[in-house]
Structure 1
Amino acid sequence: MAGNFKDNIKNSISNFKNWEQKSHAEDWILYPENLSGRLSLDEVALSDGELYTVLTSKAAKGRKGSIVAVIKGTRSETVIENLFKINRDLRIRVKEVTLDMAGSMKLIAKKCFPNAVQVIDRFHVQKLATEALQDIRIRYRWEAIEQENILLAEAKEKKLKPEIEIFENGDTRKQLLARSRYLLYKTREKWTASQKQRAKILFSEYTDMEKAYNLADGLRKIYNQKIQKSVAMLKLAHWFKEVEESGFKAFSVLMKTIMNHYSDILNYFDQRSTNASAESFNAKIKNFRLQLRGVRDKSFFLFRLSKLFA
């Protein structure tokens, strides 16, 4: 009965069979009328990890009129070929495109929207800083797990009760490093009382963790300040110096990554534009996908998505 009901919706009630984009929907759908001066370019997995490139309009604020294009895959040649189906006179009116640091995305934006300023999304940069910080925590956690395993094995061999260190907040070393994950994502001002206590213990036991946290938090604070591009350049220069002095390999890699995309990252400080609308739209796609318990028919899924957001 459920299958018949779905088929009835698809074939009769929804008007899917008359959808003008039905024949090519699995490969691309375009809504040129939704183009605006400011766009977001991102990727999303529709089903089984299969990626689609999604172009959305910031003007629609995640509501109807958001979708400009949904194109199968992330290969720049394929995406460019399909976006070129949109009239060039419309494309050259685009003034800004926010995107991540992927070379393919930058090429798509450059070729399809030649007059647009490219803005690297701040949250992609901050995410790399957080991942660099978490890498250090994870490394120490594995060491703590191994240390506890050795203690348990020795105690078992000697038929003694294992003497596992417990900190003042009740955490073992292994638990301290596991439970610190969430507080490292937050600013100090947003820590709860228990997180403040845990952070105090963590930073006293692992002083380089505090140094790494301050680096990640320092980058976040640069972004959070309403400053001009010239001031941001100066503050980033100071941050680069702190990274070099820290000796952390992961942060050094991040610093080089920022330098490789320097001008597009600094463009954020002109209008403070982010890819948040694209991330929000991607979250809506994922939520819609969950409600449907997966995507079996991609064309029909994209049809329903279009009805809501195009």
Structure 2
Amino acid sequence: MELYPLIFEPILKDRIWGGTKLQSDLGKNIPTQTTGESWELSAVPGDVSVVSEGVYENKPLSELLEQFPQEILGQKVHEQFGTQFPLLFKFLDARDDLSIQVHPNDELAKQRHNSFGKTEMWYVMQADEGARIIVGFKQKSSPEEYVEHLNNKNLIEILNEVKVKKGDVFFLETGTIHAIGAGIVIAEIQQTSDITYRIYDWDRVDVQGKSRELHVEQALDAMNYDTTDTQKHYTKTENSTNVMVNCPYFTTSYFPLKGEANVNKNGSSFTVYICTEGEYTFEDNGKSYSFKKGDTILVPAALKDFSLKGEATLLEICIS
């Protein structure tokens, strides 16, 4: 395999709650004024990422994984997942509130949808004044209390609302009831899954006057009714990995780059870098590749020693 950092064509998704910040803030060529998501790196069936540059330009990720599973994924990840890419990376622009929703765990998702569950994390890239998210219950709840409030259209009264600012990090285990609020741009890292149980959609309708499908029954036994501590605090040491989230599915670190950093990996896992601020070059064996805010790159596991140069805020993700 020819080793270099792979960057992919964004897969852009129109959403009822989307806006234009993916273009204005991140330089994406959005097709509509309500573009809510940019899938940066995906192996979800029907939405498989395609390489945008270099010798593998126009190749789908799935094809590369069939050809070079160990070189890309790394020995440990390949042993665990075969030729499946286990994570999904997105940017989200919430002009309006997203629906209140929950994701099933691995067991339930496998049983009902033959899919992975959807453990995820959010990194807030931008937040308007007063913007908030919904994560979990204010106090321990129950299926009965939850259904009563849902039916009375006052579910929000028992949910935990948190004001957010740029740089905030939230880790959402499966079963956590949640919603991203209006006025927020988020980088999302999650398991490869598109299974969402939508519980409440603010009674809104689309241009045809139709409301979106709800999954109230399915959500009942997928939900965690306990309170959860979702916000993560982290250090910001320059030119090094500052772990924000470490879970069985992924490890995400904050990597503030200033000047030059030499990186050495052991080949057990691929590495992904999401650039949330600034610009930088990736240098390997005398070759240089330039990236900027809004770029997400996949570094094959077989590319173990490289350097990063520039001034940028990076999120570094691998499976440890």
TM-score range, shorter chain: under 0.3
Higher-Rg member (1/2): 1
Higher relative contact order, structure no. (Cα contacts within 8 Å, ≥ 6 residues apart): 1
The TM-score normalised by the length of structure 1 is: 0.25
